[in-house]
Amino acid sequence: MDKIVISWILLLMMCVAYIVPIGLPLKIRTPSEKFYKFIESLPKDSKPLLMSIDFTAGGAPEIYPSMLAVVRHCIARGLRIVVVGIGTDEATVLMHKLFEESGIAKVYRYGVDYVGIGYIPGGEMAITTLATDFQKIVKSDAYGNKISDLPLTRDIKDYNDFSAVIPFDTAGVLTLWVRNWTPLKVPFFASMTAGYEPTFVPFYNAGLIQGYLAGISGGAEYELLSGFRGSAIKSMDMQSITHLYAVTLIIAGLIIPYLRKRR
């Protein structure tokens, strides 16, 4: 089969699945359910959640829907959040987009209920210092306000002042978060690409990570659980159809040359 024909069929299948969704049933996996239940169990006056944008613009279609659903759920529950970014300098712009699309400013007061710090350079050193000396590494937020002037962040000293840490990762810094924050016994949740899931299953099974959302399917599961339906659920049918197409191509690639040989 020609390369162009394969590509055109793929494009067509993706478009049809997106325009006319089949609505295949989605099975909720335990790690996603645990993630949702944790957010649901937190009381309104609990300590803020530390979220980290560690995904690039290229990885955003897979991880961003999960983050948007989690943030919307937090807003609905009245939970306070602090957003940082370690893995990529694109974090600050993605954070502005997140705040805009989640409509956080309409419900929350900036500096009291949520704070956007944005990109913090330093890689693993920044992750370690965030856990041990928050005020030392973060001096101001993404809008130029002093951290010590904002009611939400002025009393944050270290990891003890967060209810949980949630990195959203495609940039490969999740391992750094795990090895620096899980020994501190802070509830740890994460979102990673589907391809990275096997790497983090040992941490989850050992109880170091309490729950996670893997890829776009994890995002779709969270959207379904929280009721904040977004692009993840929409793209699940598309993913199903394209995966089926990929499997068909693999099988056809194996069988067709064999049949030709026999003739």
Partner 1 sequence: MSSEIYKLYIPQIIVLLLGIIIISEYFLAVPTLGIISSWARELGILVFSAAMVVAVVGVAIRSIREIKRRTPGEWYFHIWLLIFLFSWIITGCVLTSAHTFYKWLFENFITALYQAMLGLCVFSLFTLFYRFKPRLQLESILLSFTAVITMICGVPIGEVIFPGATALRKWIIEIPVMAVERALMIVMALGVVGLCLRTILGLERSWLGILGALIPTYRRGEKD
Binding residues vs partner 1 (CB under 8 A): 1, 3, 6-7, 10, 24-27, 29, 56-58, 60-61, 90, 92-93, 96-97, 118, 121-123, 125-126, 128-129, 132-133, 136-137, 142-144, 194, 197-199, 201-202, 205, 217, 236-237, 239-241, 243-247, 249-254, 257
Sheet arrangement for strand 114-119: 114-119, 81-85, 49-54, 164-169, 189-192, 211-214
How many Å from the N-terminal Cα to the C-terminal Cα in the chain?
18
The per-residue b/e assignment along 149-187, b for 16 or more CB within 10 angstroms, e otherwise, is ebebbeebebbeebbbbbbbbbbebbebbbebbbeeebb
Nearer of residues 42 and 126 to partner 1, judged by Cβ? 126
Positive or negative, the Cα torsion across 33, 37, 40, 45?
A: negative
Shortest distance in whole angstroms from residue 189 CB to partner 1: 18
Shortest distance in whole angstroms from residue 45 CB to partner 1: 29
Shortest distance in whole angstroms from residue 1 CB to partner 1: 6
Shortest distance in whole angstroms from residue 76 CB to partner 1: 25
**Assigned token pair, 230:** 């977004």
Nearer of residues 79 and 192 to partner 1, judged by Cβ? 192
28: DSSP letter: P
Nearer of residues 112 and 246 to partner 1, judged by Cβ? 246
